[in-house]
A and B are shown apart, each in its own frame.
Chain A
């Protein structure tokens, strides 16, 4: 079974721009979560999607948004980029609620550098 895939793997943007990151979950997984990892704040939960609906949200400003498509693929968008948005963005997928294995399996991440 293929793992979680994320594109692009690396990205360089400038302040004020916007960026869209993509995540394809493991086949059969319908929940997708996003996390931000920075040296200062560590790993922080951004949001979770299930069946195209945001089910949970972390404490991030509205510049951070996401969506999920009918095939469970997910995108996250960051608008008006700030230097502090430079981070590793990790996507994780898991089985549907109540489906047994509730482990979140992570993709390789997208490294975003904001200049």
Chain B
């Protein structure tokens, strides 16, 4: 069975601080997808990034960066110079990738990030 663990329930930082959200996953599949989503108070899940299991390249997008390490089954997310607008709940998710489809997402419990002035 697949499992995603986000051990950090809640993180509070002051604006402009860097923050890393941890994600550890378990799967028996050799091919899979990993995702990060952001959920603001409105409730909609906003897609941030998708990573295929065979692509371990780290990625940077503006203030966001992701570190994928298969050896430790981790897919961590760093926000550099955090801003108040980054306040939200962040979810890491895992799906199988059989037959070219990313189906049945398994989510972690989420990390609530609070950024204050």
Cα-based distance from A109 to B43 in the complex (angstroms): 7
Nearest-neighbour CB distance to chain B for A94, whole angstroms, equals: 7
Verify A102–B104 contact, CB threshold 8 A: no
Q: Is A33 at the interface (CB under 8 A from chain B)?
A: yes
Nearest-neighbour CB distance to chain A for B76, whole angstroms, equals: 19
Verify B45–A106 contact, CB threshold 8 A: yes
Verify B103–A55 contact, CB threshold 8 A: yes
List the A side residues contacting B109 at CB < 8 Å: 42
Query: When A and B form their complex, what is the total count of cross-chain residue pairs whose Cβ atoms lie within 8 Å?
Result: 69
Residues 52-94 of chain A, each 1 if its beta carbon lies under 8 Å from chain B, else 0:
0001101000000000000000000000000000001010101
List the B side residues contacting A55 at CB < 8 Å: 103
Verify B103–A98 contact, CB threshold 8 A: no
Interface size, A (range): 20 to 34
List the A side residues contacting B100 at CB < 8 Å: 97-99, 102
B residues adjacent to A (C-beta < 8 A): 33, 35, 37, 42-47, 50, 91, 93, 95, 97, 99-110
In the complex, the 3 A-B pairs of residues with the closest C-beta atoms, listed nearest first: A102-B102, A98-B100, A97-B101
A-B contact pairs, 28 of them (CB 8 A): A31-B103, A33-B103, A42-B107, A42-B108, A42-B109, A43-B105, A48-B103, A48-B104, A56-B103, A90-B43, A90-B45, A97-B100, A99-B100, A102-B33, A102-B50, A102-B97, A102-B102, A103-B35, A103-B47, A103-B102, A104-B105, A106-B37, A106-B45, A106-B46, A107-B44, A108-B43, A108-B44, A109-B43
